[in-house]
Every structure is written in C-alpha cells, then in structure tokens.
Chains A and B, each alone.
Chain A
Amino acid sequence: DTEVTQTPKHLVMGMTNKKSLKCEQHMGHRAMYWYKQKAKKPPELMFVYSYEKLSINESVPSRFSPECPNSSLLNLHLHALQPEDSALYLCASSPWGPREETQYFGPGTRLLVL
C-alpha cells in the first residue's frame, strides 16, 4: 500500500462549526504532515508529527488543532474557522531520518468556510 488517504474530499462549514479532517497511511512512515495550499501557491507547512509527537508547529492559529492517535492516523480538528481558511488541506507522510525526507501527499480535502 503506497498511498495516503484523506477524508472527506470536500467540506463546507460555517464559522461556528466544528469539524475534523482525517488522514491515514499504511506505509510504515513515522512522520506525518499537514499542509495548507491556496490556489496557485505552493503547499504551506502547518504541522509535523514524528513518532506520534508534534515536532513542528508553524505558528498555526489555535482554531486548527492536530492530533496523531497512532503512527498511521493523523487528524486536524477545525473550530471557529474564518473564510480565509478556505483552501486545500493536504496530508503527507514520510520515512523519518536524514535523507529520508521524501513526502507522499494525499489527495487533500477542499475546505470552504462560509
């Protein structure tokens, strides 16, 4: 199994809603990532988990809350989002270690905040 899966594919939510994005990989990778991508822009790193511990938080607002229940799963909990948070949210995974940085991206969740 060489793929990263993400659910849902599309999500529309109001600014008062609470929702969660889910990501799963079964490649035995020990690092998982959340990225945000706006149209015609590169992916923007949000969080990195390595060995199920948060290792990088790119000063992301607290309305985004990551969770890594185990080495195969990664969640992103959303609460009180703003319309400018509308974007493609990409999950990625990689082996962990020097020169093991190749990241494999999931198909993403297209989020629209109304």
Chain B
Amino acid sequence: GQQVMQIPQYQHVQEGEDFTTYCNSSTTLSNIQWYKQRPGGHPVFLIQLVKSGEVKKQKRLTFQFGEAKKNSSLHITATQTTDVGTYFCAGDRGSTLGRLYFGRGTQLTVWP
C-alpha cells in the first residue's frame, strides 16, 4: 500500500494566493525530501528535512517536518506563475538505503 499520503492531488490558485501541500507517513521517517517537477520536466530537488519539528525557508517557500517525523508540509506564499508544477514529497524510512517513498504529488496550477 501507499507509504506516504499526499494531499491535495490538485490545487488551482490565482496568482498571489497562498498554497499548501501536506504529506503524511504511516511510519516515522528518517528524513523527508521535497521535489518539484515542472510540466514536461523532471523532478528537481528542493530541500531535505531531517530534524523533528524542523522548519526551513527558501524565499516564498516554507517547509516543515512534524514533531513525530511522520508528516510534512510545503507552503508557498503569494504564488507566482513560475510556481506551476507538481510538488512531490519523498520519505526516507531509514531502513533501506536508497529507498524513497514518494507521495502521489500535488499538481499546482496558478492563474495569472
């Protein structure tokens, strides 16, 4: 079964609105990573969260890792058309090196 749940599957926002995607794992994670895939492109690494309760920011993007290391979120403030794409979380359970459990992704559409 699916190891990492990600919601929502789709999100449509108007430019300037905020956006959040959430991931939840059934098991404790060693770390969680976030990737962005533009339409027609390939996944591009955004960030890795390792510590319980960790919060990291990249300009308008804020990433959080839950205290129990089972959930994570990505929040984008004031979306821009360049934010369009699918955002994937990928959890590392720490049990098998090289094995990431990808969420199904959130496809973000931004209307100008």
Contacts and interface: CB of A to CB of B under 8 A. Distances in A.
Q: Do A and B come from one complex?
A: yes
B105 A42 contact: yes
- Which size bracket describes the interface of B in this complex? 20 to 34
Interface residues of A, number: 26
A72 interface: no
A23 B89 CA distance: 24
A107 B98 contact: no
B22 interface: no
B42 A105 contact: yes
Chain A CB within 10 Å — which of B30, B97, B103 has the most? Answer: B97
A90 B92 CA distance: 19
A53 to B, nearest CB: 12
Interface string B87-112: 01010101011111011110100000
Interface string B42-63: 1111001010000000000000
B69 to A, nearest CB: 13
Contacts of B92: 101
Given A45-B99, A96-B97, A90 B50 contact: no
A41 B100 contact: no
A90 to B, nearest CB: 6
B1 interface: no
B98 A56 contact: yes
A96 B31 CA distance: 15
19 contacts: A31-B97, A40-B105, A40-B107, A42-B102, A42-B103, A42-B104, A88-B42, A97-B97, A99-B31, A101-B31, A101-B33, A101-B48, A102-B33, A102-B45, A103-B90, A104-B45, A105-B35, A105-B42, A105-B45
Interface of A: 31, 33, 40-43, 45, 48, 50, 55-56, 88, 90, 94, 96-99, 101-108
